[in-house]
Amino acid sequence: MKQMFAMMSLSLALVAGAAEPAASPVPGPAASDKERIDYLIRQDQLHTAEIARLKAEIDRPRTRAELFAACMQAAKSQTSAMGAEAVGEHCDKLWTQ
């Protein structure tokens, strides 16, 4: 169960992070090797910082309201009615515990 919530939190964080614009444009074919290496180093630093932020977010204790909200977001994204109902029932059980 904890793993499921961790995965939901991670997926929500990734979706939220995907909306952020890129820090710098990708160097084109005319860029020098040094420019490409600098770009890759910056990208590596950004990704390392993002991974650390996501790990901290996953490790943070959640309130029941936050867990319920994440669960309902997962239910909302279901494409089948039966899947959404099953996830919604699980959310209700989570809330009443």
Query: What's the domain range around 9?
Result: 1-19+27-60
* Mean local confidence (pLDDT), 6-31: 60
pLDDT at 1: 47
Whether residues 78 and 56 share a domain: the answer is no
Q: How confident is the model at residue 35 (pLDDT cuts 50, 70, 90)?
A: very high
Number of folded domains that form the chain: 2
Whether residues 69 and 83 share a domain: the answer is yes
Whether residues 41 and 55 share a domain: the answer is yes
Burial classification of residue 44, based on how many CB atoms lie within 10 Å of its CB (0-12 exposed, 13-18 middle, 19 or more buried): exposed
CA neighbours closer than 13 Å in the CB half-sphere of residue 85:
3
Whether residues 52 and 68 share a domain: the answer is no
Whether residues 90 and 46 share a domain: the answer is no
Neighbours of 56 (CB within 10 A): 9
pLDDT at 27: 75
Whether residues 42 and 7 share a domain: the answer is yes
Residue 13 has pLDDT above 80, yes or no: no
Q: Using one digit for the tens of pLDDT, what is the confidence trace for 73-83?
A: 877 777 777 77
pLDDT at 29: 75
Whether residues 51 and 69 share a domain: the answer is no
